[in-house]
Amino acid sequence: MIDFLIVTHGSLAAGLLDSTKLIVGDASNISVLGFDHGDDPEELEQTIKEEIEFSISNGRQLLVFTDLFGGTPSNRVVLTIKQLAKGENVEAIVGVNLSMLLEGLMSVQQRGDVRTIKGKCLQAGLDGIKDLKEAFEL
Protein backbone atom coordinates (compact mmCIF):
# COMPACT_ATOMS: atom_id res chain seq x y z
CA MET A 1 0.00 0.00 0.00
CA ILE A 2 1.12 3.55 -0.68
CA ASP A 3 0.37 6.57 1.44
CA PHE A 4 0.51 10.15 0.24
CA LEU A 5 1.63 13.20 2.20
CA ILE A 6 1.09 16.73 0.89
CA VAL A 7 3.20 19.42 2.58
CA THR A 8 2.67 23.01 1.45
CA HIS A 9 2.65 26.62 2.45
CA GLY A 10 -0.63 27.73 4.02
CA SER A 11 -3.80 25.82 3.31
CA LEU A 12 -2.90 24.68 -0.21
CA ALA A 13 -2.48 21.05 0.92
CA ALA A 14 -5.92 21.02 2.54
CA GLY A 15 -7.45 22.59 -0.57
CA LEU A 16 -5.85 19.97 -2.81
CA LEU A 17 -7.19 17.23 -0.55
CA ASP A 18 -10.70 18.73 -0.66
CA SER A 19 -10.58 18.92 -4.46
CA THR A 20 -9.30 15.35 -4.69
CA LYS A 21 -12.15 14.10 -2.50
CA LEU A 22 -14.64 16.00 -4.64
CA ILE A 23 -13.47 14.11 -7.73
CA VAL A 24 -12.60 10.62 -6.46
CA GLY A 25 -14.35 10.35 -3.12
CA ASP A 26 -12.18 8.31 -0.78
CA ALA A 27 -8.77 9.75 -0.09
CA SER A 28 -8.09 8.08 3.24
CA ASN A 29 -4.46 7.38 2.37
CA ILE A 30 -3.64 11.11 2.02
CA SER A 31 -2.35 13.24 4.89
CA VAL A 32 -1.79 16.98 4.65
CA LEU A 33 0.43 19.47 6.44
CA GLY A 34 0.32 23.23 6.04
CA PHE A 35 3.12 25.60 7.02
CA ASP A 36 1.75 29.00 8.00
CA HIS A 37 3.34 32.36 8.75
CA GLY A 38 4.81 32.20 12.24
CA ASP A 39 4.97 28.39 12.38
CA ASP A 40 8.15 26.77 13.64
CA PRO A 41 10.07 24.93 10.88
CA GLU A 42 11.40 22.47 13.48
CA GLU A 43 7.85 21.50 14.43
CA LEU A 44 6.98 20.99 10.77
CA GLU A 45 10.03 18.76 10.37
CA GLN A 46 9.04 16.75 13.44
CA THR A 47 5.53 16.21 12.08
CA ILE A 48 6.93 15.16 8.69
CA LYS A 49 9.20 12.71 10.53
CA GLU A 50 6.22 11.24 12.37
CA GLU A 51 4.28 10.80 9.12
CA ILE A 52 7.21 9.04 7.44
CA GLU A 53 7.84 6.82 10.46
CA PHE A 54 4.16 5.89 10.61
CA SER A 55 4.10 4.77 6.98
CA ILE A 56 7.38 2.86 7.17
CA SER A 57 6.54 1.17 10.48
CA ASN A 58 3.26 -0.04 8.98
CA GLY A 59 5.02 -1.57 5.97
CA ARG A 60 3.77 1.09 3.58
CA GLN A 61 5.49 3.16 0.95
CA LEU A 62 5.11 6.95 0.98
CA LEU A 63 4.97 9.52 -1.78
CA VAL A 64 5.41 13.09 -0.53
CA PHE A 65 4.25 16.10 -2.54
CA THR A 66 5.45 19.65 -1.84
CA ASP A 67 4.57 22.94 -3.43
CA LEU A 68 7.68 25.04 -4.01
CA PHE A 69 11.29 24.06 -4.67
CA GLY A 70 13.49 25.69 -2.03
CA GLY A 71 10.55 26.53 0.23
CA THR A 72 10.41 25.51 3.87
CA PRO A 73 8.06 22.54 3.30
CA SER A 74 10.30 21.09 0.57
CA ASN A 75 13.49 21.77 2.48
CA ARG A 76 12.14 20.09 5.61
CA VAL A 77 10.99 17.06 3.61
CA VAL A 78 14.48 16.71 2.12
CA LEU A 79 16.15 16.96 5.53
CA THR A 80 13.80 14.40 7.02
CA ILE A 81 14.20 11.91 4.18
CA LYS A 82 18.00 12.22 4.42
CA GLN A 83 17.91 11.55 8.16
CA LEU A 84 15.25 8.92 8.27
CA ALA A 85 14.33 7.12 5.13
CA LYS A 86 17.49 7.22 3.05
CA GLY A 87 15.29 6.83 0.00
CA GLU A 88 13.83 3.50 1.02
CA ASN A 89 10.11 3.32 0.32
CA VAL A 90 9.85 7.12 0.37
CA GLU A 91 9.79 9.32 -2.72
CA ALA A 92 9.08 13.04 -3.09
CA ILE A 93 7.86 15.42 -5.78
CA VAL A 94 7.96 19.22 -5.72
CA GLY A 95 5.44 21.32 -7.67
CA VAL A 96 2.30 19.47 -6.65
CA ASN A 97 -0.85 19.89 -8.72
CA LEU A 98 -4.25 18.22 -8.81
CA SER A 99 -3.48 16.20 -11.95
CA MET A 100 -0.59 14.40 -10.32
CA LEU A 101 -2.52 13.69 -7.12
CA LEU A 102 -5.37 12.13 -9.06
CA GLU A 103 -2.92 10.06 -11.10
CA GLY A 104 -1.31 8.83 -7.91
CA LEU A 105 -4.60 7.70 -6.43
CA MET A 106 -5.64 5.94 -9.63
CA SER A 107 -2.24 4.28 -10.04
CA VAL A 108 -2.32 2.92 -6.50
CA GLN A 109 -5.51 1.02 -7.37
CA GLN A 110 -3.67 -0.64 -10.27
CA ARG A 111 -0.82 -1.66 -7.95
CA GLY A 112 2.73 -0.56 -8.37
CA ASP A 113 5.70 0.52 -6.35
CA VAL A 114 6.24 4.07 -5.18
CA ARG A 115 8.94 4.84 -7.76
CA THR A 116 6.72 3.78 -10.65
CA ILE A 117 3.81 5.79 -9.30
CA LYS A 118 6.08 8.80 -8.77
CA GLY A 119 7.00 8.66 -12.46
CA LYS A 120 3.35 8.51 -13.49
CA CYS A 121 2.54 11.45 -11.21
CA LEU A 122 5.36 13.54 -12.64
CA GLN A 123 4.14 12.87 -16.19
CA ALA A 124 0.51 13.62 -15.28
CA GLY A 125 1.58 16.87 -13.65
CA LEU A 126 3.41 17.96 -16.78
CA ASP A 127 0.65 16.79 -19.12
CA GLY A 128 -1.92 18.72 -17.10
CA ILE A 129 -0.24 22.07 -17.76
CA LYS A 130 -1.51 23.58 -20.98
CA ASP A 131 -2.25 26.88 -22.66
CA LEU A 132 -6.04 26.69 -22.51
CA LYS A 133 -6.63 28.97 -25.47
CA GLU A 134 -4.19 26.98 -27.57
CA ALA A 135 -5.69 23.65 -26.49
CA PHE A 136 -9.13 24.79 -27.65
CA GLU A 137 -7.80 26.71 -30.62
CA LEU A 138 -9.31 29.98 -29.40
Sequence length of the chain is 138
* Residues in Cβ contact with 89 at an 8 Å cutoff, skipping those fewer than 6 apart: 55, 56, 60, 61, 62, 114
Per-residue pLDDT reduced to its tens digit, 88-138? 799 999 999 999 999 999 998 777 899 999 999 999 999 999 999 999 999
Q: Where does the chain show beta strands of DSSP type E?
A: 2-9, 30-35, 61-66, 90-94
CATH of the domain at 103: 3.40.50.510
Containing structural domain, residue 112 = 2-135
Overall domain count for the chain: 1
Residue 85 has pLDDT above 80, yes or no: no
Report the candidate in 58, 63, 67, 59 with the shortest Cα–Cα distance to residue 34: 67
Q: Report pTM.
A: 0.94
* Higher pLDDT, residue 58 or 86: 58
Mean pLDDT score of the chain, rounded to an integer? 94
Report the candidate in 102, 91, 78 with the shortest Cα–Cα distance to residue 20: 102
Residue 13 has pLDDT above 80, yes or no: yes
